[in-house]
Amino acid sequence: MKVTIEELEAYLLDHYSGDGIDQSLFMKLVEEIGEVAEVLNKRAGRKPSGSEDLQAQLGNELADVIHYAVAIAALNGLDMNEIMIEKDRAASVKYNHRTNLERFIMDKRSKTSDG
């Protein structure tokens, strides 16, 4: 199953609305970013690691980062889908990228529907 940003935003808005927990969500986001850093340090050999599945841990910690970031956006009425497309479009021009996110997705969808 694939989840869209809009679906995740709606789910998290439903899950967290009315709780007034913007600041606690931000603190959880910071905590999860620290956990991503810890896993990356273990993978790079900068921290000791036992028989842990670092790939699975990294995926889980990144999922938590996305969860809290999107929850904060949803509670603040931000359309992250549109914001990411617009921000990437500006960055693509600024840094002279060969394509941008919107064009990449349109090309990919076109190839999928053709084939």
Could you write out the DSSP letters of every residue in 48-79? ---S--HHHHHHHHHHHHHHHHHHHHHHTT--
Taking only the tens place, the pLDDT of each residue in 54-105 is 999 999 999 999 999 999 999 999 999 999 999 999 999 999 999 999 999 9
Instruction: Please count the structural domains in the chain.
Output: 2
| Domain extent at residue 40 | 1-78
- Split at pLDDT 50, 70, 90, the class of 20 is low
106 & 84 share domain: yes
88 & 74 share domain: no
52 & 4 share domain: yes
51 & 89 share domain: no
Q: Who has greater pLDDT, 12 or 114?
A: 12
pLDDT for 14 beyond 80: yes
Alpha-carbon distance of 43 to 18, in angstroms, equals 39
> What's the whole-model pTM score?
0.88
Taking only the tens place, the pLDDT of each residue in 32-57 is 999 999 999 999 999 999 889 999 99
Cα–Cα nearest to 44, from 33, 31, 30, 58 = 58
